[in-house]
A and B are shown apart, each in its own frame.
Chain A
């Protein structure tokens, strides 16, 4: 087994030992209960929002909290003095975070399909959720390596939600529209919304889908290359 697979297996072992998988599943169950409370008529409209919340915001929180927990336990430094490549260490953490998002999207998507008559194209939903979770995991890493402590991470996440996520959520709920869509184009959360909406059969142009997907990919690459990678080492050494 090469080191990436050992690291990945270790990440999944810890996802279970630290109850992350269980909590992730619990949150999904919570969303489903909320959907039942909303009622069959309107529930299908909220499903994309809940999947977005899990794939984007929960992923940021999961990655950020995970990084701080590992700093607290000094395990980042311990990993860095093994023959593992830095890229493998970070990639294994990204894959485990993406897995949680996929598990949730699949669970909520299947329930929405069978119980709320939602139109779901799983061939789009799963790869798009993967892309959204991956880009937001890297956004989560970016925030976590730039702030000094966990309370600041939470405050920055709130700021992120106010700046990027809430306008998209309000837009999704038709609370405002029109000119706002132009502003929202630069928002990674809005790009994510467009992808999820498309997977749920909403009318989104192919151009917008391609632009959104490429935008998230490019953003993820740039943040990973120029922020996460160099700063991650710095953080680990300063433990």
Chain B
């Protein structure tokens, strides 16, 4: 599979405070995948995203975008790239539609704004000033803003932040459709639900370094316990037994329970991404 981004030994230090926010990270984002960048606040994910979106330039290391050095691109880079910021990025005294039309005219290729607004449920409010929008509405408009130029690559930062479950689902469906149509996504988030539902591969970043990089499934297997917990009913009471997954089929006690007892629940020792996040980054998930 072709790499859209190839990042090697990327380092960045903020001049003002001398803090090295990104410390030699290496990863690639493959064409057509949704790549999750996960980490606690201050881990370096926003800095990494700002570097990849060309907002920060004094980095060391190598970044290739579609096989070419990122530094060799001029602003036409943004013609095929969409960026969804974590915070609303609109003129509050302009209407939603006025905002979208203004930004859209800055690109050569344009998506159908009305269709996008309809899809995220903002069409009825398109002529209201953005200052009157709720936080969720502003975030949905942010998402539309990212899609205005019909991009091939999407940078999304905390894209479902502040959205109710129904609208979060719509946005996630649109991201999946974007991928199905050949688009590639870099998703920065700390919401593990989004990661589970969307990401093909994820990188955990902490202290400016990548601690893990893999598929959610492989990480769950790696960090999970190879065991099976069985709750069964015996002598008017619920009992719990835990079995090693290895050679489970030859475990006499397990076979006896399965064959002769009433089983109430069975759980494998698969861990959650929340737990992996805490283990890998040493931080709690911020909800």
Residues of B within 8 A of A218 (CB): none
Query: Is A115 part of the contact surface with B, judged by Cβ < 8 Å?
Result: no
Complex CA–CA separation, A1 to B75 (angstroms): 17
Complex CA–CA separation, A71 to B207 (angstroms): 27
Complex CA–CA separation, A109 to B145 (angstroms): 44
B61 CB to closest chain A CB (Å) equals 19
If A17-B94, A236-B55, A237-B50 are given as contacts, then 5 extra A-B residue pairs at C-beta distance below 8 Å, sorted by A number, are A10-B102, A74-B87, A81-B83, A82-B75, A82-B106
Residues of B within 8 A of A85 (CB): 75
Query: Is B105 part of the contact surface with A, judged by Cβ < 8 Å?
Result: yes
Complex CA–CA separation, A80 to B89 (angstroms): 11
29 examples of A-B residue contacts, CB within 8 angstroms: A1-B105, A10-B102, A13-B98, A14-B91, A14-B93, A17-B94, A18-B93, A73-B88, A74-B87, A75-B89, A75-B90, A78-B85, A78-B89, A78-B90, A78-B103, A79-B106, A80-B55, A81-B55, A81-B78, A81-B81, A82-B75, A82-B106, A83-B76, A83-B77, A83-B78, A83-B106, A83-B107, A85-B75, A236-B55
In the bound complex, do residue A237 and residue B88 qualify as a contact, i.e. CB atoms below 8 Å apart?
no
In the bound complex, do residue A84 and residue B75 qualify as a contact, i.e. CB atoms below 8 Å apart?
yes
Residues of B within 8 A of A77 (CB): 55, 85, 89
A98 CB to closest chain B CB (Å) equals 21
Query: Is A27 part of the contact surface with B, judged by Cβ < 8 Å?
Result: no
9 nearest A-B residue pairs (beta carbon): A78-B89, A82-B106, A74-B89, A6-B105, A81-B83, A17-B93, A237-B55, A83-B75, A10-B102
Take A1-B105, A10-B102, A82-B106 as given contacts and tell me if A74 and B55 are in contact as well, using a CB distance cutoff of 8 Å: no
Complex CA–CA separation, A18 to B129 (angstroms): 12
In the bound complex, do residue A75 and residue B55 qualify as a contact, i.e. CB atoms below 8 Å apart?
no
Size category, B interface: 20 to 34
Interface centre among B92, B102, B107, by most A CB within 10 Å?
B102
Take A3-B106, A13-B98, A237-B50 as given contacts and tell me if A82 and B93 are in contact as well, using a CB distance cutoff of 8 Å: no
Q: Is the interface of B mostly helix, strand, loop or mixed?
A: loop
Query: Is A7 part of the contact surface with B, judged by Cβ < 8 Å?
Result: yes
B151 CB to closest chain A CB (Å) equals 11
A-B Cβ contacts below 8 A, count: 67
Mark interface residues in A1-26 (1 if CB within 8 Å of B CB, else 0): 10100110010011001100000000
Which residue numbers of B lie inside 8 Å of A, CB to CB? 50, 53, 55-56, 75-79, 81, 83, 85, 87-94, 98, 102-103, 105-108, 145
Take A74-B89, A78-B89, A78-B145 as given contacts and tell me if A14 and B106 are in contact as well, using a CB distance cutoff of 8 Å: no
- Across the interface, B106 reaches (CB within 8 A) one of A13, A17, A84, namely A84
Q: Which of A53-109 contact B (CB under 8 A)?
A: 73-75, 77-85
Q: Which of A212-237 contact B (CB under 8 A)?
A: 233, 236-237
Name A72's closest neighbour in chain B (CB-CB). B92
- Across the interface, A82 reaches (CB within 8 A) one of B50, B56, B107, namely B107
Name A78's closest neighbour in chain B (CB-CB). B89
Name A239's closest neighbour in chain B (CB-CB). B87
Complex CA–CA separation, A75 to B130 (angstroms): 13
Complex CA–CA separation, A18 to B131 (angstroms): 12
